[in-house]
Chains A and B, each alone.
Chain A
């Protein structure tokens, strides 16, 4: 039985429709990629899953039960998001940002353990933990944003445009870390990416979105071989 089930999703911005009848499924422990042109509606889909945007039609169920309406409650259900552009709390330090990630959790001891666990994934952040998030470089901010999302002990992690504006070497490292966390802890991850090559390389399954409609889905390896996808996205 899948962890996240999205069926027949229609979403509008004002009067213009952005998503048409989307279906999507993520099993516990899957690493799924969602790729597509800019403006295809990828971020809109993520915002609908997290509750920042309300859909006009369609159902979203998590662990078999319908998701609560407000974004504040969906993080309690176990959905965490790394927003596009990282959007850390610039005026607060790294450790304050990470603790805010665990805002909904009551178990103090577990939160402290998770804090050290995040610093083990991203050692660079450990020694500058009291630095203001706004003063960090792009790569450091991305690590802190991923850490902050992990602090809410999610069962599904959504990562929006991780590679945007980052040097390829940093992107490789972060992709590796995400893959590692997914395998080691069975944390389901949905990665939204512009860099189709990266997305298909790091994911088990993938969905391809084209102007708000799902045009292809399936195992990533198979999608990489399809001629039409190579031509449209991989420029081979």
Chain B
């Protein structure tokens, strides 16, 4: 029984980690808290629903399409709206992204009604066996896919020129211009990448959770906790914390019952905020915003 709880926790933890990377990056790089990040995940799930459920295409293949569409959406929202907030006060990003979230969710309610949809895969029932525990193939695939995407994004930031430009713009917007970096474009690029990762997480989670316009908001609570637990702006931290959060939830629901999942998660969250705000792998000097 313990083994099954651990497996469930780890598998869902991978998805949570991928869902959080974009949010943590946007906060770490630009100091913006994107309350619409949950909506990006929801949109990714709907893209999977429309393409696979209606056109019969394998959900995993939908990931690149969802990432591309969400990249464009994230890029435009940042370039048109959020970049202006950077010039005023960053805490306005909370109010502004709350408004954007309202818009996106309501649009989907109008388009697809609020009832739940499901995204099924041919191998939905397939599962590997490990001892007396089951490892559902779809969840395992989703979790591994999430780790691969996270690793690629981490290498992009650490190794490539435009990745370093993103980190530089995060630390000092004015001086990064002196280096020849155009912060507005870099921020839009970061926001686009963050949205794309959220879209990928959306597609992967559509195979596990029921799809509805309001699914994004339930993700948001988890994303908050994992971001701060992992350390703001830290990709490795988000992945590690994703697994930790997955395990906490899995054990909380196993021992205390499903509805205590959230309460335990938030209590852990408030404790982290108070005693170790820099999180597990928080990088010094990042996340302080300019």
Contact = CB atoms under 8 A, between A and B. Distances in A.
Task: Give the interface SS of chain A, mostly helix, strand, loop or mixed.
Answer: mixed
B181 A52 contact: no
Contact of A50 (B171, B178, B284): B178
A14 B6 CA distance: 60
Nearest to B177: A71
A210 interface: no
Contacts of B284: 90-91, 132, 134
Contacts of B182: 70, 72
B179 A101 contact: yes
A100 interface: yes
Given A75-B180, A101-B179, A103-B179, A91 B161 contact: no
B165 A91 contact: no
Interface of B, helix, strand, loop or mixed by DSSP:
helix
A103 B181 contact: yes
B286 A152 contact: no
B151 to A, nearest CB: 20
A87 interface: yes
Interface string A52-80: 10000000000000000011110110001
B179 A100 contact: yes
A134 B285 CA distance: 8
B24 to A, nearest CB: 15
A96 interface: yes
A104 B161 CA distance: 10
Nearest to A91: B285
A89 B180 contact: no
A101 B174 CA distance: 14
A92 interface: yes
Contact of A92 (B167, B177, B180): B167
Nearest to B233: A91
Nearest to A86: B175
Given A91-B284, A132-B285, A72 B167 contact: no
B214 interface: no
Interface string A79-106: 0110100010111100010011101100
Contact of A87 (B164, B170, B175, B285): B175
A92 B166 CA distance: 12
Given A87-B172, A132-B284, A134-B285, A80 B178 contact: yes
Contacts of A52: 174, 177-178
Interface string A93-123: 0001001110110000000000000000000
Nearest to A79: B178
A87 B177 CA distance: 12
B180 A103 contact: yes
Nearest to A104: B180
Nearest to A92: B167
A89 B172 contact: yes
B165 to A, nearest CB: 7
Contacts of A83: 174-175, 178
Given A90-B285, A134-B284, A134-B285, A75 B171 contact: no
Given A75-B178, A89-B175, 10 more contacts: A52-B177, A71-B177, A72-B177, A72-B181, A83-B174, A89-B167, A90-B285, A91-B170, A99-B164, A101-B179
6 contacts: A52-B178, A70-B182, A76-B180, A80-B178, A91-B170, A134-B285
